[in-house]
Amino acid sequence: MATDLKTLFRVPGPSEADIESFHNDGYIAFPDVFTDQARESLINEIEGLEQVREFVGQLPQNRGEPEAFFIRPWNDRGPYSDQLIDDPFITNLLTATIGEAYHFCHSALNIAPRGIGPIRYHQDHHHWKHENSVNLAERDRYYVQILYYLNGFSDGDRNLKVIPGSHRIAPTEDAASDMTAASEFPHRLLAGEYDAEAGRPLREKRLELPPGSLVYINARIFHGVEPKPLDSPQPYRIFNIDIFKEAGPPHRHTQEIPAEWIARAGPARRKLFVREAYTEGCWNS
């Protein structure tokens, strides 16, 4: 499985300013970073999946509460989405920010139609939500998410929002315990309660990105998503995500790698795949 492109992206890797943004702000936004051919090929690949065709096809007839299409892990990848795993740009981005010792964790695919609701501010570093010895040892190791927005989004229309600098706030019991405390915690962040710990004022940043963009985040940053209006000019927003972690024990969703992926992997890609997958109870042993 291979494309005819050496890379899917317009740039070879992150700039020094990008790397600084990752460490200081907790994220990097890359607007319109895919080549036109790569962007269109990826959209065609995703919209051509049978499950996606069925989901999109029923949207005009859906008169009930809108639901998103979501699949995790996303293993039904064509050649372009497969190349995302270790495209030269992605490899350069990962090694420049978290080093060379990392694993592919898991992936997901989401289609958000008109009328879908918001996603509250949250963090995704699962080791902070458990108290096993392995969780305590892994809490300060990198867990990064690459968020792909192939058809983009406008402010107020299923846009991503972040709190730059909030990755520096340890996910305390207030942030990671019960749902009520977790939902209230971002308001405390934005009220200035944790500015001293972050070493900066914590303020909300609402993003707006054209088609073919990606956002690279430290999963400890607080991030959320706005709803998609019923009158949005965009019928649905396409969102796919690949997640990587520092080499070591599994995270909550570290997926089993399909045998066919291993079979066709070269030595470098095999290093990304050969690791323990998450299973219930694995953190207790």
User: Which tens digit of pLDDT belongs to each residue from 63-72?
Assistant: 768 899 999 9
> pLDDT tens digit string along 231-264?
999 999 999 999 999 998 888 899 999 999 999 9
67 three-class SS: coil
Residue 51 has pLDDT above 70, yes or no: yes
What pLDDT digit, counting tens, does each position of 202-231 carry? 999 999 999 999 999 999 999 999 999 999
Q: What is the mean pLDDT of the chain?
A: 92
Tokens for 260?
A: 């066919």
When mean pLDDT is compared across 27-36, 136-145, 177-186, 257-266, the lowest value belongs to 177-186
Domain positions in the chain: 16-265
Residue 176: predicted pLDDT = 52
The 10 Å Cβ neighbour count of residue 83 is 22
Residue corresponding to tokens 């030269």: 88
pLDDT-derived band at 131 (thresholds 50, 70, 90) equals: confident
User: Residue 99: is it exposed, middle or buried by C-beta count within 10 angstroms (0-12/13-18/19+)?
Assistant: exposed
Which pTM value belongs to this model?
0.94
* 16-265 topology per CATH: Jelly Rolls (2.60.120)
Alpha-carbon span 112 to 108, nearest angstrom: 13
